[in-house]
A and B are shown apart, each in its own frame.
Chain A
Amino acid sequence: MSSKSSIIDAIRNIEKEEVHLPRIPYFEGLSYDSTAFFLDMLQRLGVEVIQGNSIEDIPYYLQEREFDSKKIFTQFSELPYRKTLKHGQLESIQLSILNGKVAVAENGAIWVTDERLSNRALTVIGEHLLIAISKRNLVWNMHEAYANISIHEHGYGMFISGPSKTADIEQSLVKGAHGSKSLIVFIYE
């Protein structure tokens, strides 16, 4: 007998009570002002926030910073940065600019997917990360977030809520474990 059938049969042979699957409510938000709550949460997560009008404004905000524009990757076709990478370029990416689909006020997490993501590691491998999110796509909590996305629509998707971090050495919080050392959230109209 295959291991699959032995496992399935073993489960089937157990006498089990029927248990109903509960309905999941959305629950209310923790404040009346989700935007303010979101911004506050990002600050607590050590995230830098830039507010702008549209995606096209991003280069303007980045010009002051010390990024080599050849080493910036983006998912946005309208931005003047790299959309694809050649072998060996991945490791030297300084900034990844990702397209945030849904942002969650309660925990600061933003949903990104592998759409126009030439390599999935670009979610973490860039030295720094910028996620652009429209104010219109802010929801309260994870229940609402999942009601607004389809997790199997993309082969890979993730909620990101800050720079990569660890506290594995004596519980001291250090930013920049394996993924990006900093996160900028660009909020546009």
Chain B
Amino acid sequence: MEKGNSTHPVGAEAFNKDKKRVAWHDKALWFVREKRDKAAHQIPEWEQLRELAAQIKAHTLSQLDLYLEQFEKNALKNGIHIHWAKDAEEHNTIIADILENHQAKKVVKSKSMLTEECGLNPFLEQRNIEVIDTDLGERIVQLADEKPSHIVLPAIHKKKEEVGALFHQHLHTQKGASDPAYLTQEARKHLRTKFLNADAAITGVNFAVANTGGFVVCTNEGNVDMGANLAKVHIACMGIEKLVPSQEHLGVFLRLLARSATGQPITTYSSHFHRPKKGREIHIILVDNGRTNQLAKPDFKSSLNCIRCGACMNTCPVYRRSGGHSYNYSIPGPIGAILSPGKDLKKYSSLPFASTLCGSCTDVCPVKIDIHTQLYKWRQIIGKEGHLPKGKKTVMQLTGKVMGQSKTFSMMSAIGKKILGGPKVLAYNALNPWTEDRDLPSPNFTFKDWYKKNKNNE
């Protein structure tokens, strides 16, 4: 969960104190975005796959009650224990109870945004349970007592020298060592002992299949398979939106996921769990925690399509220049900015404004969520409810810092022209704090032109 109530402008301003780091962060993520582009362009049916993915998700969500019941029935037949949690607290309590039943004191956990959302680690630590994050990036931020700043690349904000210092302090690696290969090998040794001694493993779920009653988890490191296969108990936590009807649908999502996330054709491991090994247990926790509320909002329900690839973050000019921590929500970036207001409109009222509405997130999203439209709609709601971010001035200053050059403004207005029937609709909307005290140039070229001209400078 999040620390404090800091708004995006405040967090972004803090991140922007170190200009060099901002440039470095920006470049690192843009590099990932470019890898995604190359991977996507190799697949002639890419657009068709995105459309199919969106349709499969929309269909599943339209009958989610039936699919959940079908999934439960089949998973139970497979010998998997099923639990339902309406909110974060229930999710955490169920896990604590399972662990207590097994007298489990040492837990290894692979990446799960849901457990971040629910604040599971501090909850378990308070009960004297050791929780070790085993994804290398997550382990780094855990040792640093921070939160992941990105959903796929949790430690993207950290320099290798910082990782070296952390490892020196906690894992007794050589002082001053910062070679990624060396540090990774040391982490491997350290985490192997954790895997071999763990009483239970907690994992996330990428996809759950209704008609087979099993689930799929994707990693590159292999930490899911080390953890879940070595410990006696495997607890898999999933939001109720992770379902797909049947195994043929996995083909569509597995072709999209890794290409969108890192530009790889597929993750190294795509692990399918259907039954526990004899003498072992698998538990699945089906979590609502605000998802049914989001599903009830026609304008925002497609945000539940998200497969957590991170592409919208990598492409977002604001995210790249403000860093994941500035969002102060378990899921940062454009998708976090449309999910979080559904959770707490007031607390996260600054997030939908952390965008240029350039639409790049929507363009790359493999499940075709109209992210920038939803950002705009949240702005309207936030305005109506009177939760406009207090520090509009700060937002303005930040805009200058984050966006730097006016070219992005031009881009925004061109997009505004395309989508909203004219830049002024967007620009002079009372809800847009960025236009408060400056006039926008009238765009005389289109976004495409701009993009062509500028993409090499990015």
Instruction: Please report whether the interface of chain B is mostly helix, strand, loop or mixed according to DSSP.
Output: helix
Count of chain A residues near B, Cβ 8 A = 68
Residues of B46-104 whose CB lies within 8 A of A: 48, 52, 55-56, 58-59, 61-65, 68-69, 72, 78, 84-86, 90
Which one, A14, A147, A151, A161, contacts B272 given CB within 8 A?
A: A151
**A164 contacts B by Cβ under 8 Å:** yes
B244 nearest CB neighbor, chain A only? A21
Alpha-carbon distance A177/B223, docked complex (angstroms):
8
B53 nearest CB neighbor, chain A only? A22
Alpha-carbon distance A55/B365, docked complex (angstroms):
43
Q: Is the CB–CB distance between B214 and A151 below 8 Å?
A: yes
Q: Which of B225-233, B410-418, B425-433 contacts A (4 or more CB under 8 A)?
A: B225-233
Instruction: Please report whether the interface of chain A is mostly helix, strand, loop or mixed according to DSSP.
Output: loop
Alpha-carbon distance A3/B93, docked complex (angstroms):
13
Q: Is the CB–CB distance between B271 and A158 below 8 Å?
A: yes
**A36 contacts B by Cβ under 8 Å:** no
Supposing A151-B209, A178-B226, A179-B226 touch, asked if A164 and B268 sit within 8 A by C-beta, the answer is yes
Q: Is the CB–CB distance between A8 and B277 below 8 Å?
A: no
Q: Which of A58-66, A70-78, A102-110, A130-138 contacts B (4 or more CB under 8 A)?
A: A102-110
- Specify which chain B residues have a CB less than 8 angstroms from the CB of A159 in the assembled complex: 254, 266, 269-270
- Specify which chain A residues have a CB less than 8 angstroms from the CB of B276 in the assembled complex: 155
Q: Is the CB–CB distance between B226 and A151 below 8 Å?
A: no
**A99 contacts B by Cβ under 8 Å:** no
Q: Which of B11-19, B132-140, B335-343, B352-360 contacts A (4 or more CB under 8 A)?
A: B132-140
Task: Give A66 Cβ to nearest chain B Cβ, in Å.
Answer: 19
Task: Give B14 Cβ to nearest chain A Cβ, in Å.
Answer: 21
- Specify which chain A residues have a CB less than 8 angstroms from the CB of B270 in the assembled complex: 109, 158-159
Q: Is the CB–CB distance between A41 and B226 below 8 Å?
A: no
Supposing A159-B269, A174-B180 touch, asked if A169 and B163 sit within 8 A by C-beta, the answer is yes
Q: Is the CB–CB distance between B180 and A170 below 8 Å?
A: yes
Supposing A107-B265, A152-B274 touch, asked if A168 and B137 sit within 8 A by C-beta, the answer is yes
Residues of A98-155 whose CB lies within 8 A of B: 104, 106-109, 114, 119-121, 123-125, 141-143, 145-147, 150-152, 154-155
Q: Is the CB–CB distance between A179 and B221 below 8 Å?
A: yes
Q: Which of B187-195, B367-375, B398-406, B435-443 contacts A (4 or more CB under 8 A)?
A: B187-195
Alpha-carbon distance A4/B292, docked complex (angstroms):
12
Could you say which of A125, A160, A171 has the most chain B C-beta atoms within 10 Å of its C-beta? A171
Alpha-carbon distance A48/B287, docked complex (angstroms):
42
Q: Is the CB–CB distance between B268 and A162 below 8 Å?
A: yes
Chain B's interface size range is 35 or more
Q: Is the CB–CB distance between B221 and A21 below 8 Å?
A: no
B195 nearest CB neighbor, chain A only? A178
Task: Give B195 Cβ to nearest chain A Cβ, in Å.
Answer: 7
Q: Is the CB–CB distance between B286 and A171 below 8 Å?
A: no
- Specify which chain B residues have a CB less than 8 angstroms from the CB of A123 in the assembled complex: 222, 225, 229, 269
Q: Is the CB–CB distance between A179 and B225 below 8 Å?
A: yes
- Specify which chain B residues have a CB less than 8 angstroms from the CB of A170 in the assembled complex: 28, 158-160, 163, 180
A143 nearest CB neighbor, chain B only? B251
- Specify which chain B residues have a CB less than 8 angstroms from the CB of A141 in the assembled complex: 251, 255
- Specify which chain B residues have a CB less than 8 angstroms from the CB of A178 in the assembled complex: 134, 188, 191-192, 195, 221-223, 226
Task: Give A25 Cβ to nearest chain B Cβ, in Å.
Answer: 8
C-beta contact mask, B239-266 vs A, less than 8 Å → 1, else 0? 0100001011111101100000010011
Alpha-carbon distance A136/B155, docked complex (angstroms):
42
Which one, B78, B220, B271, contacts A166 given CB within 8 A?
A: B220
Task: Give A135 Cβ to nearest chain B Cβ, in Å.
Answer: 20
Task: Give A86 Cβ to nearest chain B Cβ, in Å.
Answer: 15
Alpha-carbon distance A30/B321, docked complex (angstroms):
37
Which one, B184, B262, B288, contacts A177 given CB within 8 A?
A: B184
Q: Is the CB–CB distance between B42 and A154 below 8 Å?
A: no
**A2 contacts B by Cβ under 8 Å:** yes
Could you say which of A11, A169, A170, A180 has the most chain B C-beta atoms within 10 Å of its C-beta? A169
A-B contact pairs, 6 of them (CB 8 A): A18-B62, A20-B55, A157-B274, A168-B154, A169-B136, A170-B28
| Chain B residues at the A interface, C-beta cutoff of 8 Å | 28, 31-32, 42-45, 48, 52, 55-56, 58-59, 61-65, 68-69, 72, 78, 84-86, 90, 134-137, 140, 153-156, 158-160, 163, 180-181, 183-185, 187-188, 191-192, 195-196, 209, 212-214, 220-223, 225-226, 228-230, 240, 245, 247-252, 254-255, 262, 265-277, 286, 288, 292, 295-296
A-B pairs with lowest CB-CB distance, top 4: A179-B222, A155-B275, A107-B265, A168-B137
Instruction: Other than A11-B65, A142-B250, A169-B155, give 12 A-B pairs with Cβ distance below 8 A.
Output: A8-B69, A17-B62, A109-B270, A121-B225, A124-B229, A156-B229, A156-B271, A161-B267, A164-B220, A167-B262, A169-B184, A177-B184
